[in-house]
Every structure is written in C-alpha cells, then in structure tokens.
Structure 1
Amino acid sequence: MSSADGSGNGGSSGKSKNKDSNSRRNVSQTVLDSRTIANEIVAEIDGSLSGAQTDELARRHGLMRLQSQNFPLVGATIGLFRIADRRTVQKVSNELAAHPSVRSVQPNFRYVLQDQKAVLSEGDPAQYALLKLRLTEAHTLAHGANVTIAVIDSGIDAKHPELMNSIGDTFDALGSKEGPHVHGTGVAGAIVSHARLMGSAPEARILAIRAFGAARSGAESTSYVILKALDYAALHGAQIVNMSFAGPKDALIERGLSATAARGIVLVAASGNAGAKSPPLYPAASPNVIAVSATDVQGRLFTASSRGSHIALSAPGVDIFLPAPDEKYQMASGTSFSAAYVSGLVALMLERNPALKPGEVRAILMKTARDLGAPGRDDLFGAGEADAYAAVTAVSIAPALPVAAAPLPPAAENVSGR
C-alpha cells in the first residue's frame, strides 16, 4: 500500500491537515492489522535462556510465550509471544527490544495461498500447459528423478492416484490434525502428477510441509510457522522449495530465505494474485527467489497476476486441471500453479546436473524463456513464458564419475535403487 506524498493542498487549514493525517494513520493501521496476526510478536532471544527464564522474560513484559525453538537454518532461537493486555504491538516491541536478552522483535506477519476459487471437475488429460511448456519433449530428457522438492503449503493428499509414491516425507509445522486441502494437493499435482494428468516433474520426490491452516479467507500461515517450514526443508534434503503463497516484506523470513539460498537450495515463489496495483509481494520479491507470474492458454497475463521488476518468468496458471483431495479433480487458477510448474521444471534441470547453483538455474530459465509482451524483459512476464525443453536442453549434463574412481560398497552391504 502506498501512502500520500505529504505535499498537501495549497489553502488547507491546520484542522484539515490533522484530519487527513489521522485518516491516513487509521488506514495504515487497518492495513497493518490485515497483514499481521493480532496481538502476536516474534522475537529472537538469547539461546542460553531456559524455558523457565524465557517465560519469566515474557511475564515481565506482559506477554505469554506460545512457542520457542532453536532454528539451525538461521542460527538463532526464536520465540512466539502473545500480548496479554491492550498495549499495541509497536509499544510492546519497543519495550521488549530494549531487554539485553532480546536481539530483534517484529510482528507475526500473515501469509495467504495464491489461488482463485477451485472448481471440482472430472479432470482432463488434455492439459494445455503440457504444450505451452513443451513438457512432452522435455520428458524425453528428464523426469525429475532423485530430486527433492519441498512444498510449503496446506495439506497434501498423498493417497491421490496422481501423487501415489511421490510423497517422500511429511512435516506439519502447525502441529494440526487437519486433513488434505485442495490447494496443497493441487500444487503438488502440478509438479508430480503421473496418472490421468501429467506434472512437470512426475518422478520428483515431494517433501510435503503443511504450514497453512484453514481460516476465514481460505488458508493462511504466519512468519513463525513459515520459518519452521523453511528450517525443516533445509535440514531434510530439499533441493528446491516451492512457495505458492504471498505476504508482506518480513525481515525474519528474508533471513531464512537468504540462509536457505546460501545452502544452494533453489527457491521458487508465486508472484501473487493481487493485480496490477499491488506493491511487490513476498517471498517472490526477495532477491534470492525466482518469482513466477501466470499466463493463460493464449499466452496472455492472468488478470490478477502481480507484476514488478522482480518477476523472473511466467508459466501457465489459468484454468489448470489438477488433483483434489479424495481422488477428485479440480480446475483452478493462480500464480500458485505457475510457480509449481516451474519448480518441477527446475527438478528436470537438476536431474541433468545436480551441481547447478541457484543463480545458474535462474539464468538458464530466463535465457530459454519465450519472450511475451514488450520485447525483452518486462514487469508482466519477466523474461517470458517458461520453456521446459529449451531449459533442460541448455543444461550441460554432469560428467559421469570415472569408473576407477567410483567407490564400491562393502560386500555385505545391500544396495538398492530408488
């Protein structure tokens, strides 16, 4: 949200200026309230504090500790606290930040999934995205085998025929008991479907991380939960992280993304569905993330797709056929599914050459994309629409290990393939 430029009108009175100023403050507060979880703050605290000492610190500042844990990804202990009285988040943050055992304090920001309302369908194997992305040709070279993609999303139906044997591990960052959700199941399907439908990397392994739970607006998550999800993904073998969600700029999550990228993990995110007037949404707008906007069957930009100088490329995301929980199918739209297709495409590239670094992956994706819109890179489509075949072809195959140098397993060891 942008605010007024503060220039005012030539003959306005002081009273009018005060009224305008108060109005702007009220609007800003409303926007902040919609972007954060009410009465919650996230703080980095001294890792040497015991649970009892952390609880005492919280009580001293009129807070209740909800959770706290060490996050190896960012090398810090982070606590989630609730304000126990009617003080504002800003006031409490200022007071807590002054304590010597506290390193940083921020609101617990809200994140939402980036899809439009799904319509249950019987499914359709004639997916236009296959043609647009040239996936059939790309699959003559790679299928994403032996590549792990962490999908940070809502619950995924691992028993769906399209996803059978593709979910390698699961983690519930919410600690909830919710069942599978339409969004997470659809996003996973765009990547690994392999029955009636075809995903972009049908042999990839999904690390299913539930970070989004049911809410009035659909499904949402928070800064603290998403950091837990990133931490788990980075420590459990993810080579790619798919983030089909969006929210505000967030220092804690930015720190997690930087640490994840530093480990050589490729980060892919939906640009967001907030439309042309939206400011850049995160994590897509983070410099370490490949931001993906959405196109339709005719190569036009999805009307709701967010734009900006951070967009790397686009991919099909309108009227996409996908799996839904309980062996059903859906037709859905959103940059969520564009990002998922690109995450699968990255898996094809990493199967060809697992040594590719995130910067190299981004460069190949952008160099091989088919230009759309204004000539050259633009804020709508980025470098253009993804071309899976061109991208996979552009990847140099990793040199095979010389036979003489290849270590042999001990004679008694039972070695089996995946």
Structure 2
Amino acid sequence: MSKIAPFRFGFCTIILIAAGSVTGLPLLQSAGVAPGIAAALADDDDDGGSDDDDGGGSGYGGSSGGGNRGSDDRRPRGDLRSLFGWPFQRAERRPPPRRAVTVPDHAPSEILALGLDETSIANLAQQGFAADERINVALTGSELVKLTIPRGMTLETARQAVIAAAPAASVDFNHFYRPEQKEASSCSGDGCRLVRHMVGWPLDGSQDQTPSCAAPLPIGLIDTAINAGHTSLAEATIEVVQLGDDARSPSGEQHGTAVAALLVGAAGSRAPGLLPSGRLVAIDAFQRYRRTADIAETYDLIRAIDVLAERKIRIVNLSLSGPANALLEKAVRATIDKGTILIAAAGNEGPNAKPVYPAAYADVIAVTAVDRSMKPYRRAVRGEYVDIAAPGVGVWTAASISGGRQKSGTSFAAPFVTAAASLLLGANPDMRPNDLADALARSASDMGAPGKDAIFGWGLLNARSLCQS
C-alpha cells in the first residue's frame, strides 16, 4: 500500500509519493518515468543549424534535421520541484544566441594588382607598401601581386597610389566571395525525393547511353573543402588540387561536399550525382573567416581559375558570388577566350539585390533556382544577366559527414547546368562558350515572360534533348 504524507509549505500542500502507484502515475511511466521519481521532460532543441548525417530514414532522405529525433532521450531529470514548476523551479539559463558575424566585402588593408613591374613594386615599397604574395598568372601573362598598404592610409588612397605608380596595371581591392547557400531544408519520407525529374534527368543519375551522348568531359570545381571520405564520393573520380596555403584556416566541408556529390556522387548511394561516371578536378579556394564563415579572396580565385586553365579543364562550376572586381573580370575574360565554359550561381541576396559576380560577367552562364512548383527561389537575384534556371530548392545531396540532406540556393542549381554542359561538350568538343550557351538557351523550357527575362533567363534547363544536335 502506498504511503502518502502531506507536507505544508506556505499556502500549498504537497503530496509526497513514497512508493507504489496512484491514479495518474501510469501516464508518467508511459513517458519513461520510474515510480517514485519526479520528472521534467527535456525539450527537443533542434535549431537545424548543423549539417551532419541525415540520420537514416526512408527513400533518399529520412529526417534531415540537425539532431537525431528518433533517439530523443526523455529520461527523468531534476527533483520533485521540477514536477510542479513555479515557485520551486528556477528558469533554465540558456547561453546567449551566437551573433552572426558580418563578413566585409574585401580585405581591409590589401590591394591587388596584375601587371606590376619590378620598378613599380620598388617605388611602392618606398611609399610603405609591402608585396606580401606574388604569383605568375599564365592566363593573363602577368604577375599577380598582393600588397599590404601603409599604416594610416585609406584603402581608396592606396588604390589610387598603385594606379599612379603603374598606370598600365589592373588594380583593385582584394574582394571576398561566399558560397551561394542561404538555407538548409529538412524533409522526411517522400519529401526527400530527387528533384532532377523536373529537367528530365534520369532519376538514378545515369546518363542516356545513346550513340549521340558521349562521355562527359572533366569538370573543374572551385569551392570549399570536400569530405572525400563521404560514402557518396568513395568511388568518385575526384582530383583535389591544393593551392599550397597551409597557413590559412581550413574551410568547412559542407558546401563543397554537397556540390561535388550533386555532380559525381555514386549512382547507388544515398546522394546520387548527376554524372556518377564523371571526373572532377576540385580546388578549395576558401578559408574560414572568424571560425564561422567561408570566404574566398579574389587573389585565390584568380589562382584557381589559372590552375584549371593550365590543366585544360574546359568546364568550371562556380557556386559562389561577390562584388565586381577588375582583376577577376580580366581572369574570367581570359579563360573564356581560351574556350572555357564558366557556370556560376546567380546569387541568393534577394530579388531586388544588385548583380553578383562572376555570374554577371559577360559570357559567364548565370544560373538561377526554381522550386518544385516551378516558382522562382524567393532569395534568387534577378537581372538581365540571368541565363537559365534549374532546380535549386530542396535539392537532395550529400551532407558534410555522411548520408544526405536537402539544400537550397542557386549554388545547387548551377551543378545541373554544369553537368548538362559537360555532356554537351563531350558530344561536341568543338563547341565554343557562346555555342554551348546558345544550345542551352534553345533547348530550355520557356518560363515567365516569352523569351529571355530577368527572373528565369531563357527558361528551365531541359536535359531531355542534351545529346540531340
């Protein structure tokens, strides 16, 4: 028999349960609470901010939140006071939310120059400039120099001083570029299906092996680091090229792994790619900024583009964006003139934002994103530079550690067009960048206003006719 003893505290009477069972106690037991022990049910605090394993599940997905809800531990915690709440339970002190780090659009004390001669560098050194890094750029046939400006000099004054010292050189700030991902979606069950059917791509990731569809050409990827140990990439043909900057803080693997798997993930894996038999040459041009954000300097982007050009990689995926930069534009123009097709994310800064680069440079194929209802991605930048649309909302691809996850952003629309360009160029090796862009435009499914518009470009990518000339 249970022993129930009343205990008075102020104006309240508390019933202490010593042992046994009373009415209502089995409800607590069903929640995992042992008899005679007071309980407080823990909150399932999942902010969705992490980017790890999807936690299993059915189909391609499962629950892809930041934590494993299936293993939620609701064990009893605390003492009797927690069962009754106020006035006995003190509010739990939660750590203050982490403040978002504001990333500037350029390095605060650096100037870049292409085409400085030794005399100009010596004259700038007398003014207090220091040439921190220098490298020959084969694409432009000139040297790329990173200068630290004199203390106390403004960046604009420094830029004008370098221009005055070398009028024939290209001079600009060392701008920062970011991966084009703004949010991660979560899904479960059928909601995690692949979205490639929207553009007529085979669901299993295999190519149409018709006589006119040749093997895809190698793809260059300039992005963050890649988790080469991910099961979706274990059998992929990926060559990772290091820029050689061991002193840099390593970039995160979330973005690069997701884009790489979307391109060449194994067909039978949890994150099958568009071109599982394709070859990827990947360059991590990014570094960690204050431990929270990945950035790529203009200096490193130019180096990466130059490295891919030297390796004769003709298709490059650039799921990144940032400000206009005179030196980057020059490198982009030089590699396109040599026959390279550059495919870039159109940007996630919002429909009323200014154009972003390199997508907005002439002859770069700018890719915007649409959702499963064929509506424009709500964050996608709009403008006359937008060329074509592809799936970019809730795209299923690899998580950074293992398994898969849904991703949203123009970053994940660009690989669809990159994969299509790889097949087109494989079937027609003599195509020039403008020819390939025209072929994509002609085959696109028109959306929005007739013809090319600022929201969808020429329309939605059509993969059904990729290998038809």
* Cα shift readout 1:85-104 (whole Å, capped 9, x = no counterpart): 02111111222222259723
Q: 1:54 to 1:120 in 2, by over 3 A?
A: farther
Query: What SS is found at the alignment partner of 1:78?
Result: strand
Identity of counterpart residues, as a percentage? 29
Once the 2 structures are TM-superposed, how far is the Cα of residue 117 of structure 1 from its aligned partner? 3.2
Q: Secondary structure at the match of 1:131?
A: helix
Which of 127, 130, 153 in structure 1 is aligned with 2:196?
A: 130
The count of residues paired between Structure 1 and Structure 2 equals: 358
Look up the match of 2:183.
117
Q: What's the counterpart of residue 196 of structure 1?
A: 270
Matched, 1:186 2:258: yes
**Alignment match of 2:280 (pick from 190, 203, 206):** 206
Q: Structure 1 residues 373 and 239, CA, compared in 2 at 3 Å: closer, same or farther? A: same
What is the distance in 2 between the residues matched to 1:231 and 1:125?
41
- Aligned equivalent of 2:165, options 99, 112, 116: 99
- Which SS does the other structure have where 1:139 is aligned? coil
- The alignment partner of 1:136 has SS state of coil
1:155 match: secondary structure? coil
Q: Name the residue aligned to 1:36.
A: 106
- Alpha-carbon distance between aligned partners in 2 of 1:276 and 1:69, rounded to the nearest angstrom: 38
Q: How do residues 16-415 of structure 1 correspond to structure 2 at under 5 angstroms?
A: 34-47=104-117, 49=118, 56-100=122-166, 103-118=169-184, 127-136=193-202, 139-141=207-209, 145=215, 147-173=217-243, 175-176=245-246, 178=250, 181-194=253-266, 195-216=269-290, 218-393=293-468, 395=469
Q: What amino acid is aligned across from residue 161 of structure 1 in structure 2?
A: T
After superposition, the Cα gap between the structure-2 partners of 1:147 and 1:111, relative to the gap in structure 1 and judged at 3 Å, is: same
Q: Write out per-residue CA displacement over residues 95-139 of structure 1, whole angstroms, 9 at most, x where no aligned residue.
A: 222225972321111111100233688998964422112111882
User: In angstroms, what is the RMSD of aligned CA positions?
Assistant: 2.5
Q: Deviations over 1:136-163 (max 9, x none)?
A: 1882237873511111010012222222
Counterpart in the other structure of 2:65: none
Q: Quick one: which amino acid aligns to residue 297 of structure 1?
A: R
The answer as to whether partners of 1:157 and 1:325 remain within 8 angstroms in 2 is yes
Quick one: distance in 2 between partners of 1:192 and 1:144?
16
Q: Distance between the aligned counterparts of 1:44 and 1:351, measured in 2?
A: 34
Within 2, Cα distance between the matches of 1:301 and 1:146?
Answer: 29
Could you say which structure has the larger radius of gyration?
A: 2
Give the TM-score normalised by the residue count of structure 1.
0.79
Instruction: Write the distance in 1 (CA, Å) between the matches of 2:271 and 2:350.
Output: 29
What does the per-residue CA deviation read over 1:235-255, in whole Å, with 9 as the maximum and x for residues that have no partner? 112120110111111111111
Q: Contact conserved, 1:122 with 1:329, CA < 8 A, in 2?
A: no
- SS at structure 1 position matched to 2:448: coil
What amino acid sits opposite 2:233 in the alignment?
L
Equivalent residues of 1:148, 1:207 under 8 A apart: yes
**Distance in 2 of aligned mates of 1:260 and 1:237:** 10
Distance in structure 1 (CA, Å) of the matches to 2:191 and 2:281: 25
Shift of 1:174: 6.4
Displacement of 1:179 in angstroms is 6.5
Instruction: Check 1:178–1:204 CA distance in 2 against 1; reply closer, same or farther (3 A cut).
Output: same
- After superposing on structure 2, the runs of 4+ consecutive aligned residues of structure 1 that deviate more than 6 Å are 120-125
Give SS of 1:305's match: coil
SS in 1 for 2:233: coil
TM-score by length of 2: 0.71
- CA distance, structure 1, for counterparts of residue 233 and residue 395 of structure 2: 17
- State the Cα distance separating 1:360 from its structure 2 match: 1.3
By how many angstroms is 1:64 displaced? 2.3
Letter in 2 for 1:200: L
Q: CA deviation at 1:196?
A: 2.7
Cα deviation, residue 204, structure 1: 1.5
Q: Distance in 2 between matches of 1:42 and 1:368?
A: 40
SS in 1 for 2:232: coil
- Superposition deviation, residue 386 in structure 1: 0.5
2:105 maps to a residue whose letter is: R
Q: Quick one: which amino acid aligns to residue 185 of structure 1?
A: T
The residue type paired with residue 128 of structure 2 is G
Please list every run of 5 or more consecutive structure 1 residues that lacks an aligned counterpart in the other structure. 1-32, 396-418
Q: Secondary structure at the match of 1:257?
A: helix
Letter in 2 for 1:78: L
For 2:155, the aligned partner's letter is V
| Counterparts of 1:334 and 1:280, CA distance in 2 | 16
- CA gap of 1:92–1:282, structure 2 versus 1, over 3 A, is same
Q: Are the counterparts in 2 of residues 45 and 101 from structure 1 also a CA contact under 8 Å? A: no
Q: Report if aligned partners of 1:145, 1:205 keep a CA contact under 8 Å in 2.
A: no
